[in-house]
Amino acid sequence: MPGPHVAAPIGWSYQDYFTARGFAVVYGESLGTGLSTGCPTTGDVNETIGARSVVDWLNGRAEAHDKAGAPAAASWSTGKTGMMGVSYNGTLPNAVASTGVEGLETIVPIAAISSWYGYYRNAGAVVAAGGYQGEDADVLAGYVYSRADQQICRPVLDGLTAAQDRVTGDYSQFWDVRNYRNDVGKVHASVLAVHGLNDWNVKTEQVATWYEALKKHGVEHKIWLHQSGHADPISLRREVWLTTLNKWLSHYLYGVGNGIEREPKATIQREDKSWVDEAEWPAPGTSDVELHPWPGGRSTGALDRQPVPGRPAVETLADDASKKIEQLADAASSGNRLRYRTSATTEPLRLSGTAKAELQLSFDRPAANVTAVLLDRAPDGTSHVISRGWTDPQNRVSPSVTSPITPGQRYRIEVSLMPKDYIVAAGHRLEFVLASSDHDFTLRPKPGAGLALELTGTTVKLPIVGGKKAFYSAIPAR
């Protein structure tokens, strides 16, 4: 219930729509924000308990008081509760659902986080959310810290700075308590997940990994994927979205038998802004197709079905974090990246899921970034980044363990790119680009770190709908 500070009323674009349909709307402000006391801790158990207590209150299991100190009971509530929000406000529903709290019947996480490590780190690499260099758990906590007393939580924020570890980027206890996937087995609330396929703030790995875990644990689920970024679908497809959401909440909170649970699980916005409904996501019938780089990467080498024959071929690059990936990818020739390209597609080709690069790499110094990028190259030469991923090669064994690199020694380094659903148009080509640092996302070390890629032992795996048959039909052998 509200604390002593008086703030402006909260507004929500869905309020009038749902109150007119018999739903009560409850606003809960997280710890250290707005009218709440406590301190923000960027997704840890304290914030989860705080949000869960609202569900407990609505079910008569927790006490509350109004600002005058009088008891406030939710006697009007049936106890059947849904949680919904965008970004951080969509993350809290994931957190509370992972506790298995009784009475939480459904959640609608939009552009939401399921593991905070993956928001600020990636396989040991410190990664900027949305390209906001320097932002981290402590910065976000300071940003949302909006309670009246602006000093009492300073020691807590300082503790976040010390514990988040921007030096090694390792997965630690700090991050583990902020990983809701650990408790996906406790989730019984149905989940309608929504995410932008071009969201580089809360990246698609957050929804894809969570969604896959929900499926494996038998949680009732549905997903909307749109072509925008960090956005709410009400601004993209208002009427259809509101109808879907109303059916979803009416079914899970009111018990209305409207058949929403039997509808296609996935609704996807395509590149031309049209929408399609599909049985599931990633698309059924998707399997990996393996491709291999051929010599010529400083300009453009081939990306082929077959590995380079004969003796091992090695190509090198030097790091330069001052250059954006798009600049490197579009350069006719560059010593700061390696680029490999397929033949032009003869028909549309669809990717659905997670692309991976299995690299054979050596380094000329004990620390470096590794960035892998998948692009679409149009016939007119323009390019579009489909996906990208990053890793710290010192975390090649585990994101939890820093294993030193011996310069000159070759290592197997795997990079998972952000999950996508993307159609490559006929006449376009796929490109794989390898770089060291990513100006927008990774830390930016001084230039010069050298990477050497052994082509023979390197594989790029693409999740192709229809597998090899579809790929070979769209991109015939050279």
Answer whether 437's CB lies under 8 Å from 360's CB.
no
pLDDT given for residue 148 in this prediction? 86
pLDDT given for residue 3 in this prediction? 42
Could you please state the CATH topology (level 3) that the domain comprising 15-278 is classified under: Rossmann fold (3.40.50)
Domain extents for the chain?
15-278, 286-474
CATH class as words, domain 286-474: mainly beta
pLDDT given for residue 463 in this prediction? 99
The tokens 């795996």 sit on which residue?
461
What's the pTM? 0.96
pLDDT in tens, the chain (478 residues): 344 444 556 778 899 999 999 999 999 999 999 989 999 999 999 999 999 999 999 999 999 998 899 999 999 999 999 999 999 999 999 999 999 999 999 999 999 999 999 999 999 999 999 989 999 999 999 999 999 889 999 999 999 999 999 999 999 999 999 999 999 999 999 999 999 999 999 999 999 999 999 999 999 999 999 999 999 999 999 999 999 999 999 999 999 999 999 999 999 999 999 999 999 999 999 999 999 999 999 999 999 999 999 888 999 999 999 999 999 999 999 999 999 999 999 999 999 999 999 999 999 999 999 999 999 999 999 999 999 999 999 999 999 999 999 999 999 999 999 999 999 999 999 999 999 999 999 999 999 999 999 999 999 999 999 999 999 999 998 7
Nearest 5°: CA angle at 380, between 379 and 386?
70
3-state SS record for 280-334: CCCCCCEEEEEEEECCCCCCCEEEECCCCCCCCCEEEEECCCCCCHHHHHHCCCC
- Matching fold, domains 15-278 and 286-474: no
Going by C-alpha positions, the residue among 252, 212, 244 that lies closest to residue 463 is: 212
pLDDT given for residue 460 in this prediction? 99
pLDDT given for residue 2 in this prediction? 40
**Residues designated catalytic:** 87, 199, 230
